[in-house]
Structure 1
Amino acid sequence: MNQPTTSIPVQSPITTQRVTAIDLVRALTMILMIFVNDLWSLSGIPAWLEHVERGVDGIGLADVVFPAFLFIVGLSMPFAIDARKKKGDSKSQLLMHVATRTVALLVMGVFLVNGEDINGAATGLPRLAWNTLCCISFILIWNSYPKDLSRPLVYGLKAVGIVTLLTLAFIYRGGDDATPHTFGPQWWGILGLIGWAYLTSGIITVLADNKLTSVVIAWSSFAILSMVSHAGLLPQFLRFIPEPILGGTLTGLTLGGVVTALIFKHYRSRQDDRGLTFVLLGISAALIVLSVLTRPYWGLAKLGATPAWLFLCSAFTILAFLAIYWLADVLGKANWFSFIRPAGTDTLLCYLIPYFAYATTNFLGIHLPEFMLIGGVGLLKSFLFAILCVFITGWLSKIGIRLKL
């Protein structure tokens, strides 16, 4: 969720903050996320594209997108930390940065989650209006304002965003009329879950200081924790730890990205693409074997965040990253993906765009004809919608709206 650069280099040095392949695989993942999140509007589409229901052993395309994004969060982490070190950040400053980003993600996640269960009549706002006001507030608070913009104006805009969120939290009522509830974490939401995984992985990565062995031990610990959790063997005294951390799986996904990034940095420093490829292919194969071995015990499921899901989706993301790396960085075809660049460089803003799109079409009374919401035509519609969100993100970035946590 970094700011965009002016162009995509053919091959980024490993010492820079941005790595082309990471941006591109993040962009493709975000496009897939918007695409699968829009499938609710369609009918007559293949079941394998959608989420598998809770309790069912199996995954669909939609079930591999979120773990891929978590993995990529970890994949970019060592590069982002190195970049901040070069600017002079101390270890304590790095940890504070991790903490502040986590708070931002948790706040956004909780506000959007409350919108899912909002009682529009009791709150005085329908769900789409709630989501729109929340997203506008997020932008006002966390926008990367131009340095030449008046500081009082910047602080004023941030204050408007904060006051708006506080007001929304105060007036919020959720549930039905018989059993209403006030504002609170119903669950953490996608952004909140990313926040908890980012917090744990960020602290470990900062303290590990690029030591691969330390991060591998941490990843192994969380993979084991995932299995222990699903086996029901967690001690009661640990229950105070937030479940997204205590469950092990989500942090395991993010730490897997950190491990991959450190391996990538090692082999790229030697310009050994062949060695990098063999090692990552070997790791992917081992992860697939682990998925097969653990599936009979706890199943393969996103909604259960099972160990098999952790291992298999980690393998898929490594393979996707490796393929994009060869295509974009080694073979120099990064320009093929230039049109989706905003989804990889201003990812958080891109994630918020659909909330505005749904509210706008509802407000304007725009309804697509039925034939555009069925089967293959409907899938094309959802894909084009995802691409449109990317173009809108790019346009907003050009006029100075860029979210930076």
Structure 2
Amino acid sequence: MQSTTQAAIETTHTVPLAEASGPGRLVSLDVFRGITVMAMILVNNPGSWGHIYGPLEHAKWHGCTPTDLIFPFFLFIVGVSIVYALDSAKQDSSRHSQLLLRIVKRSAILFGLGLFSALFPSFVFETVRIPGVLARIAVVFLVCGTVFVKTGWRTQAWLLGGILVLYNILMQVVPVPGFGPANLEPATNLGAWLDRLILGENHLWKSSKTWDPEGLLSTLPAIGTGLAGMLAGQWLRCRTLEPATKVAWLFVAGGAAIVLGMIWNGWFPINKSLWTSSYVLYTAGIALAMLAALYWLCDVHGYRAWTKPFLVYGVNAITVFFLSGLVPRLLQMIKVAGANGEPVGLRTWLYDTFFVPYFTPINASLAGAIVCVLIWLGILWVMYNRRIIIKV
């Protein structure tokens, strides 16, 4: 995120690369991004991690819950946004070097934010988690942005198919050193082995230490999710097609991807942590259908009265995601007297005081998450009305 001295304030007509859609942007894309980030805030901030409704949790391993759709939706949106942010400049080959420099810079900033978030507040570099959500977004943006500038849609489509097939072969054919035949178990699959080899257990997801859901190898098919979004964006940008035709074929493509993903699931199971090829197709298919529906409603027919809560989230998406991860930790650093007189973090005290006594445990947890979403909505609403967008 840029420093205040570098001016992080823009009007809503000038928007950050691959975060909002840019001049001539799709309202539907901003709404889709806002829905996705709002859902991300909801599932990442329960009142209690021990009490969560099933749909608001990730699948234990194989399978897909509504929560498992959120991250691939965001990467798909990154792909669409790349098209709308870079397509005009791409046509001038003399500007390619400048575009690539911007892409590298933006990716480095995103990766740095992710690293800062993982370090805060202790800043212990020996055990910092290197992979993560922002790190994966950074890599996907870097690769997809570069591919978009230098290739056409046919190459991108072939690259998407090649990535999905290659990843399937790597995960289900290549033996895992020290463990034997290829497998899809959490700690013994090829991706987990590679993460331990290159990053070391100290720099992986603390809940497992032996594998990471945003690991190195699984970032390859995550790039495929971004490529799928790029292809959708180029279809929507086509000026020779009628809106109804665009929408119809987006639904067809989405339905086909869902079916293919479910078929592929038979031998390469849908799995968010492994980001399997079937998961890429299945989630991209749902994202295509959602984008088509929102495009038809918001951009073609202009039904926008209901969209503002999602727009205010959508135009400052990375900002609210980053800050919503830091603020709870800051609140926990502020100690107050708990019910038994012992010092507790302010976040814990607020939850125990205003939610736990009035709800069942699981509903108290949900209420805490909803209030978190509403608080950020209020902050972002003020920023939106004042035309403040923080560039990332």
Residues 221, 277 of structure 2: 8 Å contact kept: yes
> Which letter does structure 2 place at the counterpart of 1:100?
K
Q: Write the distance in 2 (CA, Å) between the matches of 1:234 and 1:82.
A: 42
SS at match of 1:334: coil
Q: Which position in structure 1 is the counterpart of 2:240? A: 270
SS at match of 1:103: helix
Q: Does 1:227 align with 2:234?
A: no
Deviation of 1:32 after TM superposition, in Å, equals: 0.4
Deviation of 1:296 after TM superposition, in Å, equals: 2.1
Q: Write the distance in 2 (CA, Å) between the matches of 1:86 and 1:394.
A: 36
SS at match of 2:267: helix
Q: 1:360 to 1:15 in 2, by over 3 A?
A: closer
Residues 113, 322 of structure 2: 8 Å contact kept: no
> Which letter does structure 2 place at the counterpart of 1:258?
M
Deviations 1:314-366 (Å, cap 9, x if unpaired)? 01111111111111112211232113322111111111232354245432442
Residues 20, 329 of structure 1: 8 Å contact kept: yes
Residues 327, 333 of structure 1: 8 Å contact kept: yes
State the TM-score, normalized to the length of structure 2: 0.74
Q: Which position in structure 2 is the counterpart of 1:200? A: 143
Q: Write the distance in 2 (CA, Å) between the matches of 1:6 and 1:205.
A: 23
SS at match of 1:59: coil
Deviation of 1:278 after TM superposition, in Å, equals: 2.1
Residues 34, 310 of structure 2: 8 Å contact kept: yes
Deviation of 1:380 after TM superposition, in Å, equals: 4.2
Q: Write the distance in 1 (CA, Å) between the matches of 2:89 and 2:48.
A: 42
Deviations 1:14-35 (Å, cap 9, x if unpaired)? 9935211111100000000001
Q: Does 1:388 align with 2:375?
A: yes
Q: Does 1:216 align with 2:186?
A: no
Deviations 1:109-144 (Å, cap 9, x if unpaired)? 1222344xxxxxxxxxxxxxx1xxxxxxxxxxxxxx
Equivalent runs, 1:89-238 vs 2, <5 Å: 90-115=95-120, 130=121, 172-173=123-124, 182=126, 184=128, 186-208=129-151, 211-233=152-174
Q: How many residues align structurally?
A: 331
Deviation of 1:377 after TM superposition, in Å, equals: 5.5
Deviation of 1:225 after TM superposition, in Å, equals: 2.6
Residues 247, 293 of structure 2: 8 Å contact kept: no
> Which letter does structure 2 place at the counterpart of 1:74?
G
Q: Write the distance in 1 (CA, Å) between the matches of 2:309 and 2:253.
A: 31
Residues 196, 244 of structure 1: 8 Å contact kept: no
Unaligned residue ranges in structure 2 (runs of 5+): 2-7, 16-20, 178-190, 200-214, 335-345
Q: Which structure is richer in relative contact order (CA contacts within 8 A, separation 6 or more)?
A: 1
Unaligned residue ranges in structure 1 (runs of 5+): 9-13, 116-129, 131-167, 174-180
Q: Does 1:76 align with 2:81?
A: yes
Deviation of 1:7 after TM superposition, in Å, equals: 11
Deviation of 1:195 after TM superposition, in Å, equals: 0.8
Q: Write the distance in 1 (CA, Å) between the matches of 2:40 and 2:53.
A: 17
Deviation of 1:375 after TM superposition, in Å, equals: 3.6
Q: Does 1:286 align with 2:272?
A: no
Q: Which position in structure 1 is the counterpart of 2:314? A: 344
Q: Which position in structure 1 is the counterpart of 2:276? A: 306
Deviations 1:87-114 (Å, cap 9, x if unpaired)? 9971011111111111111111122234
Q: Which position in structure 1 is the counterpart of 2:355? A: 369
Deviations 1:46-79 (Å, cap 9, x if unpaired)? 31321112xx321212111001001000011111
Deviations 1:275-307 (Å, cap 9, x if unpaired)? 112211221122112212221222111112111
Q: Write the distance in 2 (CA, Å) between the matches of 1:51 and 1:389.
A: 23
Q: 1:278 to 1:400 in 2, by over 3 A?
A: closer
Q: Write the distance in 2 (CA, Å) between the matches of 1:294 and 1:4.
A: 45
Q: Does 1:50 align with 2:22?
A: no
Deviations 1:360-403 (Å, cap 9, x if unpaired)? 54324423331347344643442342132132134346678643
Q: Which moved more, 1:257-266 or 1:343-352?
A: 343-352
Q: Does 1:404 align with 2:348?
A: no
